[in-house]
Amino acid sequence: MQYEFNIQVSPEIAAHEDQLKIHVGAKNGIPVADIRHVEILKRSIDARQRAIKINLRLKIYVQEDFVENTIGLPDYPNVTNAPEIVIIGAGPAGLFAALRAIEMGCKPIILERGKDVRNRRRDLKAINRDHIVNEDSNYCFGEGGAGTYSDGKLYTRSKKRGDVQRILKLLVGFGATNQILVEAHPHIGTNKLPGIIAKIREKIIECGGEVHFDSRVVDFKIKNSEIRDIILSNGNAIATNKVILATGHSARDVFELLYQKKIVIEAKPFALGVRVEHSQELIDQIQYKCEVRGPYLPPSPYSIVKQVQGRGMYSFCMCPGGVIAPCATSPGEVVTNGWSPSKRDQPTSNSGIVIELRKEDFKPFAKYGPLAGMYFQKSIEQRAWKVGGETQKVPAQRLVDMVEGKASTNLPVTSYKPGLTSADMSMVFPKFIHSTLQNGFKAFDKSMRGYLTNEAVVHAPESRTSSPVRIPRDKITLEHTQIKGLYPCGEGAGYAGGIISAAIDGEKCAQACAESINAKVS
């Protein structure tokens, strides 16, 4: 027989199946010998009290053998000669749009400006070691998009957007551990994501789809308010009337192109700030309320939100046991992001700490119309580049020094490989951002005692939290409100905020696009 129930146990019991059997048997009056298997369906940590507990959703098998349910992939058809859908961008939105297109009997043709995951590594090495930014291949552009080398967090609050479990199961089918189906805050890890992304690409090609790297789109040909051709940087034209635009939140040239062609886009608020690095040991002590984390608890994350000077200030993309990476997409700018390997075993932790921006904040850039927020964002990144010494070194300051407005006379070595330049954050940010951050860190310390320490280092800026524009689309057809056959999709279009929500939106756009094609065929 099988039974499901919720239980709360110590971390040590949760880590050992034999101890879990004993505990479950005693609590439910079941002889331990009769419990053949304990399956953990869901797991989360309750660290609110000094005695930390693990919340588990269990299924126990009593006098019944456990047969593991292997998660496979859908039976994808061969679509070599099927109607075509052009997908611009091979990030999560683009890749999952392609998979869904195949399921719907359409042939996806992916155009990716960057390189495949293997060759992309050379350009990441160049930016870290030589401070050289390749505008088409970097931490944001290339196979898998920004998610491939950024962290692999799979948690989303946007459950209403679509079927989260479906996306997670597809990722397991492509090689992710099935623990992502169990953990409350699932995470794959930067070291494992490239292999999974490569398998997705291989499946797309195996089914008759196409994936083209080093294929940057530079123009759209439109006739009678309908997409007709895609023009690539090499001059090649691809005739199509179905395009899913999934270029990501950093494809500024695409936003510029849309604006120049008078294709409607809208300014969108976003958040911007810094990335702060602490020792993981300190974060563990604060969050777990103990001197030593112990062997049965993972490196602790944190999540914090405050209202400061009338604005929201919050942690973003927190990376326990992780590092800070350079994420510029053009020469002459500095951008930071963070990631963690699958084991989260680095000695440092980091998080973006950002404040909410409003459209009125972009007034100095009003001449750029709907691109005002993008130019505001760019201006800070360019200022950081100059302050940092016109390399990929970031302006940095010890946390207490920043709050108190003091210069940091020396800086510790941090996980950010290109290096640091000691600088006052007031040289990087407008006054309203700088003062909000200063006061906000004081408020953070009231909730997380010990957070405000001069051993922590502020790196600037964390600026690519979400797209600075929204590309409007019809709520039913998902086509652009002005251009027929153009499907704005994912983070870059303003409809997602992470791997899972981008993948879900990719599927939705592919389904809408395929249904439109199939309706015409029938």
Q: What is the pLDDT of residues 424-466, one digit of tens each?
A: 999 999 999 999 999 999 999 999 999 999 999 999 999 999 9
Residue 151 predicted with pLDDT over 80: no
Residue 486 domain boundaries: 84-264+469-521
Q: Are residues 332 and 362 in the same domain?
A: yes
Percentage of residues in the chain having pLDDT higher than 70: 98
Cα 35 from Cα 296, distance rounded (Å): 23
Highest mean predicted confidence (pLDDT) among 43-52, 58-67, 350-359: 350-359
Please indicate, yes or no, if residue 67 is contained in any of the structural domains.
no
Look over the chain and give the mean of its residue pLDDT values, rounded to a whole number.
95
At residue 161, the 3 state secondary structure works out as helix
Task: Tell whether 367 and 476 lie within a shared domain.
Answer: no
pLDDT over threshold 80, residue 262: yes
Stated pTM of the model: 0.95
Is residue 246 over pLDDT 90? Answer: yes
Residues 281 and 429 in one domain: yes
Residue 250 belongs to a domain? yes
Range from 35-49, 59-73, 92-106, 508-522 that averages highest in pLDDT: 92-106
pLDDT for position 189: 83
Asked whether residue 77 is domain-assigned, the answer is no
Measured CA distances, 126 to 105, 137, 215, 414, 499 (Å): 41, 10, 21, 19, 25
Q: Does one domain contain both 55 and 162?
A: no
Residue 96 falls inside a structural domain:
yes
Residue range 389-429, pLDDT digits in tens: 999 999 999 999 999 999 999 999 999 999 999 999 999 99
Looking at 107-121, 179-193, 411-425, which range is the least confident one?
179-193
Mean pLDDT of 503-520: 94
Look at residue 73 and tell me if it is in a domain: no
pLDDT on residue 158: 59
**What is the total count of domains within the chain?**
3
| Residue 479: predicted pLDDT | 98
Checking if the pLDDT of 520 tops 80, the result is: no
Is the same domain home to 252 and 378?
no
User: What CA–CA distance (Å, rounded) separates 111 from 129?
Assistant: 29
Residue found by looking up tokens 């602790």 in the block: 300
Which residues sit opposite 487 in a β-bridge?
244
* Phi, psi torsion values for 479, nearest 5 degrees: -80, 155
Q: CA Rg, the chain, in Å? A: 24
Predicted local confidence at residue 521, as pLDDT? 62
pLDDT of residue 160: 58
pLDDT grade for 77, boundaries at 50, 70 and 90: very high
Are residue 211 and residue 338 in the same domain, yes or no?
no
Q: Does position 159 have pLDDT exceeding 60, yes or no?
A: no
* Residue 46 placed within a domain: yes
Q: Are residues 457 and 477 in the same domain?
A: no
**Model pLDDT, residue 519:** 79
- Domain-located, residue 206: yes
Do 112 and 256 lie in one domain? The reply is yes
Same domain, 165 and 283: no
Mean pLDDT of the 206-222 span:
98
pLDDT value at residue 191? 85
Q: Do both 255 and 155 map to the same domain? A: yes
Considering the domain architecture, whether residues 100 and 199 belong to the same structural domain is answered as yes
- Helix (H) or strand (E) run with residue 446 in it: helix 431-447
257 inside domain? yes
Q: Domain holding 43: CATH number?
A: 3.30.70.2700
Q: Which of 423, 447, 462 is the last residue of a domain?
A: 462
CATH code assigned at 222: 3.50.50.60
The single residue listed with the structure tokens 């999709």 is 489
Residues 255 and 323 in one domain: no
The label of the residue with tokens 């496979």 reads 72
pLDDT of residue 133: 97
CA distance 1 to 35: 10
Could you give the percent of the chain with pLDDT greater than 90? 90
User: 3-class DSSP state for residue 84?
Assistant: strand
Helical pair 499-521 and 92-103, crossing angle rounded to 10 deg: 30
Least confident of 150-159, 354-363, 384-393, 507-516: 150-159
**Residue position matching structure tokens 């030589």:** 130
Mean pLDDT of 35-41: 94
